[in-house]
Amino acid sequence: MKKSIIPILLSFVLVLAGCVNTKSDVNDGGKKNGEAVEIELLGMTSDQDDLNIVRDQLSKAGFKVKLNLQPDYGSFSAQEDAGNYDLSMSGWTTVTGNPDYAVRSLFITGGDYSRISDEEVDKLIEKASTETPEEYVQTYKELEQRLVFDKAYIAPLYRNYKTQAVNKDVLNADTVRLSKSRSLAWEDIDFNDSSKRDTEPLILSQSNPTLTSLDPIKGNDGSINMLNTNMYVRLVNLTDDDQVTSDASLSWNHTIAEGNSEYYFILRDDINFAKITDKKAVDTGERVGAEDVIFSLNRAKDKNSVPDHRTYTLHEHIDTVEVVTDLSELESVTQSDGSGTIREGLEEGLDTKISELVADKTAVDNGAGKYQVVKLTTTKPFPQVLNYLAHQSAGIVSQKQVESINTYDVAEFDVNKDIPYGDQNTVTEGPSYDNHLYASGPYILSYKNDYEAEFLKNPAYMPGTENEPNISTVTVRFIKDADSTLSALRNGEIYVYYGVPETKYDVVENDSKLRLQRIESNAATYMLFNPSEKREVGKSEDLRKAILYSINQQDFIDFYQGNVIKAVSTVSPLVDTGNELVADKEKAQEHLNKYLESK
């Protein structure tokens, strides 16, 4: 997920010459034709603290530095696309818990956000994607080595913590989970006084009131990630420490066949779709079944299934999805870990073993041994497909309902007259309100306005189990800035602040009614070099390395009072490669001299 936590201001460009504190601090040996080598740093006004640290470090290393500060993400992107930078501020949060997501879009040739084209990087990314976690550590180590140290395509700055603040006077803080990748799970949260479950709402917040889409495949951003995660069930989930699990998902169990290309899921029968009638959540009576899984994943992988499909690249490794009706297939295929047959893996822990496999979801009866099993085949061995299936974009929608809404021709879609499934206007109070959502998850959006959105408990989501949602109503308040959100939390206007900034930790910790929860996140902040031959950094590996070894990550740790962590790349939060970037003035000068000698 591309870093975009940027406040929007009026568009302008502010270019500042880098300044030097004292002459003794400065390396005077980095001059070309009597002039210091100039480096342009591109970022946004919200990144100014980080950019000032980088500027000062490079100035002390003998570079002449100027800042190109942009007020918002759109202006920043325009400058980046135009190539008006030597290094641009970049960040990435891996929201799927797997390292392939941490590198594919960013660094593979032709990736969604990639500005790099390196055959060796491509080969290593593809190789690692076919390997199990036990196998891929060495491959990602080699990838990181080439990306950072051998070619200096990026200059890492730091990793972040993931945090949230909880009003422990109102909520049982132990029920408020904090996961590395998964968004906040609402169904587990409970009040200290459980008698309030049906009479008072759980009040949360987010900054953006404009929702990209309530169709899970049409958005992958902060406006809808948490919302869609809680509205649509998936085949698997992620644990809080990023392990793939069937717990609280649509499947009782899942297993991988020998060869790592075939994946089997045995579905549970206690989830129905919910809908909104008169702004109340009701059970549609329609079970969430294999037909809906097949429909949802086929549209998820198909770029042309909907207009403005924003998540298809996450699912491009899916080849086929089908329902299995031949029980002998489960008995003749071995699990990839050699622990037994697919049937044995799927039946592990089931109260009732499989007696029959059915194609029609209306014929399912788990208590009588009648199950549906879905088989997913990938285009190549790709164990990390399971992490992508845990992402909100793999949420299961109702085939019947989506097809009844999306009657338009995708190629001829007209935004002015066609109303797609999940359009936020259909759930916004006013003349356009016509809620057509069918939710397979624990909650369904009832309505929204500019102030808040109200979600109601799905009455047919695993009723009577430990996964049934505790609180009946969730209200999400739209609060734009960090100071106002923190104030609302402290005043009891919201009960959880998801994503507390580093600069606000002390405020939370000093408030007796609040608890700060913090874990190491999957987020990394780094500087991206301009690869264009029009820029000296794009042409010279030595110049890039001179800059790389001038970066001292300890300065960032000190500035943020220990609330950030050292990083090497976007892989760092997920795989312990053993690599480390150490600032080295001698190496920096050596590479700078080589660059100057080549001119």
The most confident of 14-18, 72-76, 419-423, by mean pLDDT? 419-423
> What is the pLDDT, as a whole number, of residue 32?
56
Q: What is the pLDDT of residues 474-487, one digit of tens each?
A: 999 999 889 999 99
187-194: long-range contacts, CB 8 A cutoff, minimum separation 24: 187/230, 187/248, 187/442, 187/443, 187/461, 187/467, 187/468, 187/469, 187/470, 188/470, 189/470, 189/471, 189/496, 190/470, 190/471, 191/470, 191/471, 192/168, 194/470
Beta carbons within 10 angstroms of residue 579's beta carbon: 19
* Mean pLDDT along residues 297-311: 94
- Average model confidence (pLDDT) across the chain: 92
At residue 113, does pLDDT exceed 90?
no
Task: Give the 3-state secondary structure of residue 164.
Answer: strand
> What is the pLDDT, as a whole number, of residue 574?
95
> What is the pLDDT, as a whole number, of residue 72?
86
Contact residues for 154 (Cβ-Cβ < 8 A; gap 6+)? 90, 147, 148, 526, 527, 528, 529, 569
Question: Please, are residues 158 and 552 in contact by the beta-carbon 8 Å criterion?
Answer: no
What pairing do the DSSP bridges indicate for beta strands 443-448 and 452-457?
antiparallel
Spatial separation of the C-alpha atoms in residues 247 and 265, rounded to whole Å: 12
User: Which stretches of 472-597 are assigned E, i.e. beta strand?
Assistant: 473-478, 496-498, 514-529, 564-565
Task: Give the 3-state secondary structure of residue 452.
Answer: strand
The CATH-assigned architecture of domain 14-160+522-598 is Roll (3.10)
pLDDT classification of 503: cutoffs 50, 70, 90? confident
Percent of the chain clearing pLDDT 90 (strictly above): 88
> What is the pLDDT, as a whole number, of residue 10?
28
Instruction: Report the Cα 402 to chain-centroid distance in Å.
Output: 25
Q: What is the pLDDT of residues 353-366, one digit of tens each?
A: 999 999 999 999 99
Burial class of residue 303 (count of CB atoms within 10 Å of its CB; 0-12, 13-18, 19+): exposed
pTM of the entire predicted model: 0.88
> What is the pLDDT, as a whole number, of residue 483?
94
pLDDT classification of 260: cutoffs 50, 70, 90? very high
pLDDT classification of 219: cutoffs 50, 70, 90? confident
> What is the pLDDT, as a whole number, of residue 506?
94
DSSP, residue by residue, 62-112 = T-EEEEEEESSHHHHHHHHHTT--SEEEEEEE-SSSSHHHHHHHHHSTT-T
Q: What is the pLDDT of residues 227-241, one digit of tens each?
A: 999 999 999 999 999
The first and second tokens of residue 118, run together, are 């390196």
pLDDT classification of 132: cutoffs 50, 70, 90? confident
Percent of the chain clearing pLDDT 70 (strictly above): 94
Domain with CATH 3.40.190.10 in the chain: 171-490
> What is the pLDDT, as a whole number, of residue 33?
55
Spatial separation of the C-alpha atoms in residues 42 and 86, rounded to whole Å: 8
Q: Tell which residue, 301, 297, 317, has the closest CA to residue 380.
A: 317
Q: What is the pLDDT of residues 8-21, one digit of tens each?
A: 332 323 333 333 33
At residue 30, does pLDDT exceed 70?
no
pLDDT classification of 36: cutoffs 50, 70, 90? confident
Q: Tell which residue, 166, 169, 182, 186, has the closest CA to residue 225.
A: 182
Spatial separation of the C-alpha atoms in residues 103 and 525, rounded to whole Å: 14
First to last CA, the chain: 39
Instruction: Report the Cα 388 to chain-centroid distance in Å.
Output: 10
Spatial separation of the C-alpha atoms in residues 89 and 527, rounded to whole Å: 5
> What is the pLDDT, as a whole number, of residue 454?
98
Distances (CA, A) of 237 to 101, 242, 382, 411: 16, 9, 17, 34
HSE of 306 in the Cβ direction (CA atoms, 13 Å)? Answer: 28
> What is the pLDDT, as a whole number, of residue 310?
87
> What is the pLDDT, as a whole number, of residue 101?
93
Q: Tell which residue, 280, 119, 302, 287, has the closest CA to residue 217.
A: 302
pLDDT classification of 3: cutoffs 50, 70, 90? very low
Q: What is the pLDDT of residues 81-104, one digit of tens each?
A: 999 999 999 999 999 999 999 999
Domain with CATH 3.10.105 in the chain: 14-160+522-598
**202-206, strands of its sheet edge to edge:** 202-206, 473-478, 452-457, 443-448
DSSP, residue by residue, 459-471 = TTBSTTSTTS-S-
At residue 73, does pLDDT exceed 90?
no
Beta carbons within 10 angstroms of residue 432's beta carbon: 12
> What is the pLDDT, as a whole number, of residue 11?
32
What pairing do the DSSP bridges indicate for beta strands 64-70 and 14-17?
antiparallel
> What is the pLDDT, as a whole number, of residue 22?
37
Q: What is the pLDDT of residues 385-406, one digit of tens each?
A: 999 999 999 999 999 999 999 9
* Mean pLDDT along residues 371-379: 98
**Domain 171-490 coded CATH 3.40.190.10:** yes
